[in-house]
Amino acid sequence: MNIHLCFKSIFKCTTNLLKYFFIFFASLIFSIALQEKLAFNDDIGFSLALLISTFFFLLALKIEKKKPIEFLRLRKVNFKLLPSLIFLSVIILLFEIGLGNLLHEIFTSPISDDMDLCFFSVLHILILAPICEEIFFRGIIFAKLKNIMPLSLAIFIQAFLFGFLHGGLSGHIIQALIITISGIVLGLVYHYTENLSMSISFHFINNFIVMILNILDFDINPIFCILISILLLIIYIKWITSIKY
């Protein structure tokens, strides 16, 4: 009986998640079609897809008789945590830059890092992507997955999907791997703070730093980046476990 209930729960969750993925891809396809017809740029197209899909995500939660704010755990930002999130973001980005460049050197695989900034790209990178993507990947996918599987597996799956949809679909495998790492950290931030606003904040901080680094356009030794990030992570863990919020 327990096995039957377990499979029933997994099946229900899987079909439920497929509904949200259908919404996401339908919104993306609609935006691409509209983009070709009206000839606006990619940033407007992606932003439109995020806005449309997020609207229907929230509508779907309402149809499931869930209160979106409560289900997503959307609460006030804990400003005391922001310094630690900034520190963590710097550490993760150092590691990702080092690993990405190292893999690029080994496999001579191109990393998509072009970022032509305009108003709509900044709006997409700093506002829409952090809010809408966190609602989808952490607030919905991760929240539903961890109800039917071990936490570690749920974190990995939502992070893999996050990375795959960012880089895998366009063939940028290294980029997908790097963004998967960010997805793992975002999942951990959401889980341990129990607050979607904090993962949104981390996502914003991460994207902001990436945008600044892209403008500066500097070269750095990948091994040095990785070693420094590991050292800083050890310091960070000791620091975060010694304080109370």
Q: What is the mean pLDDT of the chain?
A: 88
Can you give the pTM of this predicted structure?
0.90
Contact 207, 130 (CB under 8 A): yes
Residues comprising the chain, all counted:
245
Predicted local distance difference test score (pLDDT) of residue 107: 77
- The share of the chain scoring above pLDDT 90, in percent, equals 62
Predicted local distance difference test score (pLDDT) of residue 187: 97
Q: Binning pLDDT at 50, 70 and 90, where does residue 108 land?
A: low
Give how far Cα 86 sits from Cα of 79, 81, 205, 206, 243, Å.
Answer: 11, 9, 7, 8, 16
DSSP code at position 80: G
Buried b (16+ CB within 10 A) or exposed e, 190-218: bbebebbbbbbbbbbbbbbebeeeeeeee
Q: Domain spans of the chain?
A: 2-242
Contact 154, 146 (CB under 8 A): yes
Residue 63 has pLDDT above 50, yes or no: yes
Predicted local distance difference test score (pLDDT) of residue 1: 46
Output the CA torsion 174→178→184→188 (10° steps).
180
Residue 239 has pLDDT above 80, yes or no: yes
| Secondary structure in 3-state letters for 124-164 | HHHHHHHHHHHHHHHHHHHHHHCCCCCHHHHHHHHHHHHHH
Residue 86: burial class (beta carbons within 10 Å; 0-12, 13-18, 19+):
middle
What's the pLDDT tens digit per position in 190-224? 999 999 999 999 999 999 999 888 887 767 888 99
Q: Binning pLDDT at 50, 70 and 90, where does residue 126 land?
A: very high
DSSP code at position 66: -
